[in-house]
């Protein structure tokens, strides 16, 4: 079931410190220059229970003037996911009354959009107790919300870096739960949740690979992260089998030192990186030069992961 936040309810979430506030949006000039930039971000949020019944969409830029006036008691439970638009600055909380979308001991390990526009998240349990953990699953944020248990993972493995391909498949990266190699590229069955290895592309056993993006021309990209966070842009070519390293990512001549949260290709083929340098906040969207690895800061976006919204 889908819920949209009223201005008052979103202000309450911001006060609770559980939803990222102060989301800025692109200037009119930047929007005019990047008409195809339709990016949506996702993060976790509690579900807020109040006496209000009217729920509408809210532009998060209205938070500043209203937050101080909306301090009321609430009942907060960590069961929601928050979608945010980079361009419009609007946010939406999604919940399922029957089953929590995200438990407190779970993380969002992947986020993407399928070719038909359906948003998909991978949810991975984090071992914090001796009780049996909930299995890794993928959740389709459609109407209705649909969840599949992922099969084919070993106990110490994690599914992440989801990518909805141009030809309608869902692929991802599987590695150890602490993010260390070996990493393998997998296909995920959209009907059963079963994973199968894509043997055409192999990564070295010591390479920490993260994030997947596909541009309209069908070329796949990923990133390899070094021991100190240094990040190299990589092209994946099934004809070459071995990943093709394009260049180290850098901003204003300084090497990027913290890996990436997401890698996305726009409808016009522009590669976008999402993350923050070590010890810096918030995350931001960067334009990436595929040839040089140079990154140009485009827009701050205080969320967890991003993907391209498709019609």
- Predicted pLDDT at 135: 87
Q: How far apart are CA 196 and CA 231, in angstroms?
A: 27
Contact 45, 82 (CB under 8 A): yes
pTM for this predicted structure = 0.79
At 209-237, the pLDDT tens digits run 999 999 999 999 999 999 899 999 999 98
* pLDDT exceeds 70 at position 19: no
Distance from CA of residue 305 to its chain's centroid?
2
Among residues 94, 45, 50, which one has the least CA distance to residue 71? 50
Task: Tokens for 138, please give them.
Answer: 């993928």
Q: How far apart are CA 218 and CA 266, in angstroms?
A: 12
Among residues 286, 283, 216, which one has the least CA distance to residue 251? 286
Contact 13, 19 (CB under 8 A): yes
Helical (H) or strand (E) element with 65 = helix 63-66
- Cβ neighbours for 168, distance < 8 A, ≥ 6 positions apart: 114, 115, 116
The rounded mean pLDDT for the chain is 79
At 127-163, the pLDDT tens digits run 655 555 678 999 999 888 999 999 999 988 999 999 9
Task: Tokens for 288, please give them.
Answer: 């990436």
Contact 234, 221 (CB under 8 A): yes
């Amino acid at each position: 079931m889908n819920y949209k936040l009223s201005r008052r309810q979103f202000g309450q979430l911001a006060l609770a410190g559980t939803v990222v506030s102060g989301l800025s949006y692109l200037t009119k000039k930047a929007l005019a220059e990047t008409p195809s930039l339709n990016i949506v971000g996702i993060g976790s949020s509690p579900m807020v229970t109040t006496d209000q019944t009217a729920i509408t969409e809210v532009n998060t830029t209205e938070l500043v003037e209203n937050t101080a006036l909306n301090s009321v008691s609430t009942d907060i439970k960590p069961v929601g996911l928050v979608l945010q638009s980079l361009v419009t600055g609007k946010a939406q909380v999604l919940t399922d009354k029957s089953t929590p979308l995200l438990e407190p001991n779970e993380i969002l390990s992947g986020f993407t959009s399928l070719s038909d526009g359906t948003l998909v998240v991978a949810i991975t349990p984090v071992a914090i107790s001796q009780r049996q953990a909930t299995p890794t699953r993928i959740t389709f944020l459609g109407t209705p919300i649909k969840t599949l248990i992922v099969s084919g993972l070993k106990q110490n493995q994690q599914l992440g870096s989801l990518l909805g391909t141009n030809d309608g498949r869902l692929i991802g990266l599987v590695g150890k739960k602490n993010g260390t190699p070996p990493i393998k590229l997998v296909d995920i069955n959209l009907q059963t949740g079963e994973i199968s290895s894509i043997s055409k592309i192999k990564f070295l056993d010591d390479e920490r690979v993260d994030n997947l993006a596909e541009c309209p021309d069908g070329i796949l990209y990923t990133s390899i992260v070094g021991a100190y966070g240094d990040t190299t842009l990589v092209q994946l070519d099934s004809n070459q089998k071995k990943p093709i390293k394009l260049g180290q990512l850098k901003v204003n001549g300084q090497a990027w030192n913290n890996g990436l949260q997401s890698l996305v290709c726009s409808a016009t083929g522009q590669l976008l990186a999402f993350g923050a340098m070590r010890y810096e906040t918030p995350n931001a969207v960067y334009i990436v030069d595929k040839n040089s690895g140079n990154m140009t800061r485009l827009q701050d976006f205080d969320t967890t992961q991003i993907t391209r919204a498709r019609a």
